[in-house]
Amino acid sequence: MRHESLMLQLGTPAPDFTLSDGDGVSCSLRDVFGEKGLLVAFISNHCPFVLHLLPGLLEFAREYQQKGLGVVAVSSNDSVQHPEDGPDAMVDFGRKNGFTFPYLYDEDQSVADAYRAVCTPDFFLFNEQYELVYCGQFDDSRPFTEHSQGPRTQLPVTGESLRSAVDAMIAGTPLPALQYPSNGCSIKWKPGREPGWW
């Protein structure tokens, strides 16, 4: 089922974390933060919304990492119910697609809870002061699925919404006043782990 992101309040401090990737390499929030800020992207291997924009996201990451933006992806799905999203599959997925950023596994789902991540993909952009400045969609494009069949499925993936936000943040100019929620597959919570705000 398609869900929309909650649009966490702007100015919220980046919730701290220390997570490992599928190879057991540990990364903290400070480890992945860039000189100009950080993008935290909640994704999953099998979500059609993620797969739809993935080439554009990878291009975006390569471009903006060179400009000083840190990028990290997090998978929080329950790998018991969805083994295709577990650590081993994450390693294969990242290597196959040429990830240039860490892909971390949120096994106990505490990071998704802290960020109030609702769907995959869900994007959170933080400035140099670790303050949230953008929360929302990559762009207007959506995949054609049983839950998403409108005119936006005909739009190309450009990353326009996120690019505009990062460009403004790096330039020190006002960010877009209107920020639109991301759409995607719901986070697959462990039984009994659904947060109170869900």
User: In whole angstroms, what is the distance from residue 71 CA to residue 57 CA?
Assistant: 10
**In-domain check, residue 194:** no
pTM of the model: 0.94
Cross-strand bridge partners of residue 148:
145
Domains contained in the chain, number: 1
**In-domain check, residue 85:** yes
**In-domain check, residue 151:** yes
Question: What is the identity of the amino acid at 138?
Answer: F
**In-domain check, residue 132:** yes
**In-domain check, residue 89:** yes
**Residue ranges making up the domain that contains 56:** 2-186
pLDDT of the chain, 198 residues: tens digit per residue: 446 777 788 999 999 999 999 899 999 999 999 999 999 999 999 999 999 999 999 999 999 999 999 999 999 999 999 999 999 999 999 999 999 999 999 999 999 999 999 999 999 999 999 999 999 999 999 988 776 767 777 789 999 999 999 999 999 999 988 899 999 999 999 998 888 766
User: In whole angstroms, what is the distance from residue 181 CA to residue 198 CA?
Assistant: 16
- Return the CATH number at 49: 3.40.30.10
From the list 71, 195, 170, the residue with the least C-alpha distance to 121 is: 71
From the list 144, 111, 133, the residue with the least C-alpha distance to 42 is: 111
- What is the model's pLDDT at position 32? 97
- What is the model's pLDDT at position 153? 78
**In-domain check, residue 193:** no
- What is the model's pLDDT at position 1? 45
**In-domain check, residue 31:** yes
From the list 11, 37, 4, the residue with the least C-alpha distance to 137 is: 4
Six-digit token string for 9: 């309040």
Torsion of CA 79, 77, 50, 3, to 10 degrees: 140
The angle subtended at Cα 196 by Cα 194 and Cα 198, nearest 5°, is 65
The DSSP code for 123 is E
Alpha helices in 68-155 (DSSP H): 87-97, 110-115
**In-domain check, residue 192:** no
Q: Which helix (H) or strand (E) holds 161?
A: helix 160-171
